[in-house]
Structure 1
């Protein structure tokens, strides 16, 4: 039995302004119609695997649940980390959860934000790795290098362990991201692979190695699992927060893979990319005859080798070369492709000045639907709200603001103090200060409405929840 373990943490700040703290790149559709998380899971079709176990941060739990629901993969299979503690604790939690009921699956550990353009080659590598994992080996997948990449760690192969049909090698060593001259030497030698961060091993075998090399991490994770509280919504697997916060922060490479004598590397040549930058995303996207990757409403003239993406407005680019231009609803990035690593300078500036653009998009997502903050002014906000069928706000009130709801399409069931009534297209209602209220969509189609908030204070902490359905999300 193979249990896919999908690592869906991380913030992906190098792809700002699309990827942000509250909506990082693994939940975006950057390469294909589906989100990168959804692509990672649907890529498993054709392999004999169980439903995946997705590990994510508490902050992103409803995003993950909704995206799994969209592809019919939601089944109480989201393991929540109260705080990020790197890959070794995350995989340890997954292994402990897997063996909790007496099972010992092979864990296929995958990142949620990678591109693999040849799923068949990926499947072949996984199937080839199964016999080694069943023998108690810890398999990592080494990407066949296509250039002297300095942004990846490398794996040096040792003696042959597999056969011509299923090539595999003992891991000689893991090495950090090299300088260009060293990367060229690695490429010419033919002995080095890019470190993908993907693994296959049995749950109990991994826990044995954790017991030997990092018993402190294992003990903290075991305590987190043992003291876990049941989830009232039955959607998530929750661990004990205090126990997990005490867990050391460590990558699985440092904790186990660099220390074990049973590490095996299986080569993978499947069009892999971790799309860790805008230039990498340009690399994997389709391009026109001028070398431009264009997404959205874009016009170009005498432009070449550019990546241009627009969420809504028309972007016109004339006489430019080798640029990344990304237009979102609240930010625009223009950068030379050769300097995309400096996107972090923007993120650092936004954090230092406590600006919301590094954390939030103008559009935000909740269990009931999503909200587009169209206008954000000192004494009033205008929001375009979409409530999915069956979605419902928590019962709440406000001390400092009034709200006016105008229905654009669909049907709203509004509760205002002790009154409940239906509103349809072009109808509206007014919520005075201090009035308990809620709204739900009883219909079969999405409910669209405009919300005008006005008052002396419009902060989120003026939402006083009387009955909170969504755990303050």
Structure 2
């Protein structure tokens, strides 16, 4: 009998999802998107674990920029650890294991590690594999789940196993020989022909003490920084401050290469999970529902004589005539068109946007915030215009700007506006003005959403021109 209280889930949600641009952005990557149905990929991952692992036993490791930005509301239901910088999976898993031990009342819990941004269609198969892996983890094994490849895909990692296998109940376990990250087309075809390779699902099961001992043995630099975090944490009782102070000195290394390739204690469980890492628009097309011509169509579209294509509209009408084997993805400020089979190269577009410091890499025109949302209506040198919605009870931080003034016009609802300590009420058809450098705060104390238009005027209009003094949502 498995004690579910001794099983904890660690969900890694720090990825940037660049290959799903323009829908995935730096501050709202794919793990926080609703690609299928009403749930985000993160929410779906948590749901697949229940009832074996309850949401209260889920720990999400993600970036500070996600927890303080658009993804804030998605993360609120879960316990979180925030990385000030990305350092790959080994440091994240080390930190999570230490956290679980500290919060386990002296227990040594089983730790299930999953990516936040994958799709699993066979929930029962996942739970069955998890139950069977727990016994192996209690024996000190490091367990990984492998997916039998269906094609020589260069977007997945591969795990090589030895031919012989041992049987554990009804589930075979295969000793792991080698990890390979995203091979060339030639090598992927070779792996398929050899037959003893599996796709790396990124799902792992082990006891916290086991993985920490392996990290100490194979990644002493990671373990040393982890001990610095633990020491500062015990002295100050402020874990996040300790993480912020030391985490950036962690080596940038994956758990696969840093530990699992070096360990002699790794076993693979082959799984049929209906799994996909949703790593490209080609993959999105593959897992989506198709019409009779093989098209996956979503949103406001008109499609004539098209075949085997993905056509995704997020805002405007997308009309396609006579195209075949393409991916078309529309958002309010960007349109992507790529041949199917070439969508892995979307990261090259994101690299160009990064070089240009382009906002289209970071944010959508409509941006979610803990208090509501805003949409950029127009932006030219010297001014920016937004539509702002503040939910009932929503409250922006007490803040000021050094480079811009703001003009607010209320369209509906009632705004409570704080300026230099004085609170005024602004209602429909009324307006107010916030000069440069003045401390101010916007709040909706009413029962209906507050809708308003904001016009910013200034030489610099970046979202980082915010100095916060107080914030109900503990953002910096």
Give distance in 1, aligned partners of 2:179 and 2:464.
Answer: 48
Give distance in 1, aligned partners of 2:141 and 2:475.
Answer: 44
Worse overlay, 214-223 or 363-372 = 363-372
Asked if residue 109 in structure 1 is aligned to residue 113 in structure 2, the reply is: yes
Give distance in 1, aligned partners of 2:120 and 2:242.
Answer: 31
Residue of structure 1 in register with 2:418 after alignment: 415
Change (3 A) 1:444 1:51: farther
Residue of structure 1 in register with 2:142 after alignment: 138
Worse overlay, 434-443 or 271-280 = 434-443
Residue of structure 2 in register with 1:60 after alignment: 66
Change (3 A) 1:409 1:239: farther
Change (3 A) 1:427 1:318: same
8 Å Cα contact 2:8-2:53 kept in structure 1: no
Alignment gaps of 5+ in structure 1: none
TM-aligned CA deviation for residue 407 of structure 1: 2.3
Residues 215-270 of structure 1 deviation map (CA, whole Å, 9 limit, x = unaligned)? 22111012123324656xxxx95543232111111110111111111101011111
Give distance in 2, aligned partners of 1:21 and 1:403.
Answer: 26
Give distance in 2, aligned partners of 1:349 and 1:322.
Answer: 25
Give distance in 1, aligned partners of 2:459 and 2:154.
Answer: 52
Change (3 A) 1:451 1:263: same
Residue of structure 2 in register with 1:293 after alignment: 296
Asked if residue 220 in structure 1 is aligned to residue 225 in structure 2, the reply is: yes
Change (3 A) 1:153 1:417: closer
Residue of structure 1 in register with 2:213 after alignment: 208
Give distance in 2, aligned partners of 1:247 and 1:433.
Answer: 40
Aligned residues: 464
TM-score norm. by structure 2 comes to 0.91
Matches for 1:445-456 after TM superposition, within 5 Å:
445-456=448-459
8 Å Cα contact 1:230-1:237 kept in structure 2: no
8 Å Cα contact 2:64-2:82 kept in structure 1: yes
Give distance in 2, aligned partners of 1:41 and 1:447.
Answer: 33
Change (3 A) 1:107 1:339: same
TM-score norm. by structure 1 comes to 0.91
Residue of structure 1 in register with 2:3 after alignment: none
8 Å Cα contact 1:153-1:176 kept in structure 2: yes
Give distance in 2, aligned partners of 1:84 and 1:456.
Answer: 32
Alignment gaps of 5+ in structure 2: 1-5
Worse overlay, 197-206 or 288-297 = 288-297
Change (3 A) 1:184 1:80: same
Residue 96 (structure 2) aligned to one of 94, 97, 100: 94
SS of the residue 2:126 aligns to: helix
SS of the residue 2:341 aligns to: helix
Residue 352 (structure 2) aligned to one of 349, 353, 369: 349
SS of the residue 1:209 aligns to: helix
Give distance in 2, aligned partners of 1:417 and 1:48.
Answer: 48
SS of the residue 1:391 aligns to: coil
8 Å Cα contact 1:161-1:167 kept in structure 2: yes
Give distance in 1, aligned partners of 2:252 and 2:62.
Answer: 16
Residue of structure 2 in register with 1:39 after alignment: 44
SS of the residue 2:167 aligns to: coil
Give distance in 2, aligned partners of 1:326 and 1:177.
Answer: 25
Worse overlay, 394-403 or 47-56 = 394-403
Give distance in 2, aligned partners of 1:455 and 1:186.
Answer: 57
Residue 122 (structure 2) aligned to one of 118, 129, 132: 118
Q: CA RMSD in A?
A: 2.2
Matches for 1:9-408 after TM superposition, within 5 Å:
9-49=14-54, 51-62=57-68, 63-69=70-76, 73-74=77-78, 77-101=79-103, 102-158=106-162, 159-163=164-168, 165-228=170-233, 237=240, 239-408=242-411
8 Å Cα contact 1:293-1:306 kept in structure 2: yes
8 Å Cα contact 2:177-2:261 kept in structure 1: no
Change (3 A) 1:399 1:299: same
SS of the residue 1:265 aligns to: strand
